[in-house]
Structure 1
Amino acid sequence: MSFYTSLSGLKGAQTELATVSNNIANVGSYGFKKSRTEFGDIISPSRTSPGNGTRLKAIEQQFTQGGYETTSRDLDVAIAGNGFFVTRDAIAGGNTMFTRNGKLTIDGGYLVDSSGGFVQGLPVDPDGNVTATGLAAATNISIPQRSGVPRATTSIDLQVTLPANADLPASRAMYSASNPYAFDRLDPNSYNHSTQTVVYDSAGNSFPATVYYTRTAETPTSTWQARLFVGAEEATPSPVTMTFDAGGNRTAPTSAVAFGAVYPSGAAGPLTMSLSLGTTNQASGPFTLRVAEQNGASAGTLSDVSIDENGLVSATFSNGETQAIAKLAMANFQNPAGLKQRGDASWSITGDSGQPTVGEAGQDGIGRVQSGALERANVDITEELVALISAQRNFQANAKAIETGTTMTQAIINMRS
Structure 2
Amino acid sequence: MSFYTSLSGLKGAQTDLSTVSNNIANVGSYGFKKSRAEFGDIVAASRTSAGQGTRLKQIEQQFSQGGFEASSKELDLAIAGNGFFITRDALTGGSTTFTRNGAFDIDADRYLVDSNGGYVQVLPVDTAGNVTSTGIASARNLQMPLTSGTPRATSTMDLSIGFPSNADVPSRRAMYSSATPWAFDRLDPNSYNHSTQTVVYDSAGKALPATLYFARTASTASGDATNSWQTYLFVGNEQASANPASPTPTPLTLQFDAAGALTSPTGPATFGSVFPAGASAPIGLTLDFGAATNQSTGTFTLASLEQDGYATGKLDDVTIGEDGLVTATFSNGTTQALGKLAVANFSNPTGLKQRGDARWSITGDSGDAQVGVPGEDGFGRIQSGALERANVDITEELVSLISAQRNFQANAKAIETANAMTSAIMNLRN
Instruction: Give me the TM-score of the superposition, normalised by structure 1.
Output: 0.84
**1:41-90 Cα distance to aligned partner (Å, 9 max, x none):** 12222333222221111100001111111223332222222221222222
Shift of the 10–187 alpha-carbon distance from structure 1 to 2, 3 Å rule, reads farther
Q: Deviations over 1:176-225 (max 9, x none)?
A: 67899999989999965443332113321223433344557752345545
**Amino acid aligned to 1:391:** A
Task: Quickly say closer, same or farther: Cα 1:184–1:3, change in 2 above 3 A.
Answer: farther
Q: Distance in 2 between matches of 1:340 and 1:109?
A: 30
What is the CA deviation profile of residues 255-306 of structure 1, one whole-angstrom value per residue up to 9, with x for unaligned ones? 8474674636x65566565655555442234433355233433223332222
Compared CA separation, residues 284 and 400, structure 1 to 2 (3 A) = same
Q: Could you report, residue by residue, the CA deviation over 1:23-46 in whole angstroms, capped at 9, with x for unpaired residues? A: 111111111100000111122223
- Residue 59 of structure 1 is matched in structure 2 by 59
Q: Which residue of structure 1 lines up, in the alignment, with residue 297 of structure 2?
A: 284
- Residue aligned with 1:59, SS: strand
Does the CA-based 8 Å contact 1:181-1:216 persist in structure 2? no
CA offset at residue 171 of structure 1?
11
Amino acid at match of 1:220: G
TM superposition shift of 1:18: 1.2
How much does 1:9 deviate? 1.6
Is the contact made by 1:228 and 1:238 (CA closer than 8 Å) also made in structure 2?
no
CA distance in 2, matches of 1:342, 1:57: 20
Contact 1:235 1:259 in 2 (8 A): no
Residue aligning to 2:129? 128
Deviating more after overlay: 323-332 vs 94-103: 323-332
Superimposed CA distance per residue, residues 305-343 of structure 1 (whole angstroms, 9 cap, x where no aligned partner): 222222222223333333333222221111111100011
Alignment of 1:187-206 (within 5 A): 193-206=194-207
SS in 1 for 2:378: coil
Contact 1:227–1:234 at 8 Å: present in 2 too?
no
Deviation at 1:97, TM superposition (A): 1.1
5 Å-filtered alignment, 1:11-410, equals 11-90=11-90, 93-107=93-107, 108-166=109-167, 193-215=194-216, 218=219, 219-221=222-224, 222=227, 224=229, 226-228=231-233, 230=235, 233=237, 235=239, 237=249, 244=256, 246-248=258-260, 256=269, 258=271, 261=274, 263=276, 267-268=279-280, 271=283, 273=285, 275=287, 277=289, 280-410=293-423
Question: Aligned AA for 1:324?
Answer: A
Find the aligned partners of 2:3 and 2:48 in 1 and give their Cα distance.
Answer: 18
Code of the aligned partner of 1:57: K
Give the direction of change, closer, same or farther, for the CA distance of 1:360–1:256 in structure 2 (3 Å limit).
closer
TM-score (ref. length: structure 2): 0.82
Q: Residue 36 of structure 1: SS of its match in structure 2?
A: strand
Query: Sequence identity, in percent?
Result: 66
Residues 252 and 401 from structure 1, CA distance in 2 versus in 1: closer, same or farther, beyond 3 angstroms?
closer
- 1:189 & 1:17 partners in 2: Cα distance? 92
* Aligned-partner SS, 2:314: strand
Judging changes above 3 Å, is the alpha-carbon distance between structure 1 residues 93 and 393 closer, same or farther for their aligned structure 2 residues? farther
**Secondary structure, aligned partner of 1:162:** strand
- Give how far 1:401 is off: 2.3
Instruction: Confirm or deny: 8 A CA contact 2:323 2:373 kept in the other structure.
Output: yes
Give the alignment's Cα RMSD to 1 decimal.
Answer: 3.5
Judging changes above 3 Å, is the alpha-carbon distance between structure 1 residues 361 and 249 closer, same or farther for their aligned structure 2 residues? closer
Q: How far, CA to CA, are the matches of 2:142 and 2:120 in structure 1?
A: 6
Distance in structure 2 (CA, Å) of the matches to 1:6 and 1:34: 27
The gaps in structure 2 that reach 5 residues or longer are 241-248
Q: Return 268-277 or 25-34, whichever deviates more.
A: 268-277
Alpha-carbon deviation of 1:394?
1.5
User: Which range moved further: 339-348 or 297-306?
Assistant: 297-306
